[in-house]
Amino acid sequence: MKLWKEFKEFAMRGSVIDLAIGVIIGSAFGKIVSSLVADVIMPPIGLLISGINFTDLKLVLKPAEMVNDVQTPAVTLNYGNFLQVAFDFLIVAFVIFLLIKGINNFLKKKEEKPVPEATAQPSKEEILLTEIRDILKEK
């Protein structure tokens, strides 16, 4: 029972719950960015490069063969899929960068609100000490 109690304390700690919420929101955000890439960004890029779909790009290492009425699949190097995933990553990383930069700028502006300071007048003691110093310098 002690092990269960320790696990319960660990699982209910705020940082674990925050992490779980972050993972859930991150996966939903990932779906949004994937849709942005697949449905908004890639069609114009595909149009610019003559309608080529990146995921269809591949290098055939060994073509498909028909042996005794059984077709063996082709061996391909699917570099197009790699390019698509790499492009998705770059867009996700850039969007996250912009999001973090925007949040940091917002927080920085919020913290940097100028506080009007009253011009501090020297105390009577400081004035007297300054006068004594000036008199001693003259002598």
Q: How do residues 5-45 score in pLDDT, each as one tens digit?
A: 887 777 777 677 778 888 888 888 878 877 877 788 777 87
Is pTM beyond 0.85? Reply is no
Q: Which amino acid is at 54?
A: F
Domain limits of the chain? 2-112
**Integer Cα distance of 65 and 85 in angstroms:** 29
Q: What is the pLDDT of residues 46-73, one digit of tens each?
A: 788 777 677 788 899 998 888 888 888 8
Domain 2-112 has CATH 1.10.1840.10: no
Distance CA 68, CA 84 (A): 37
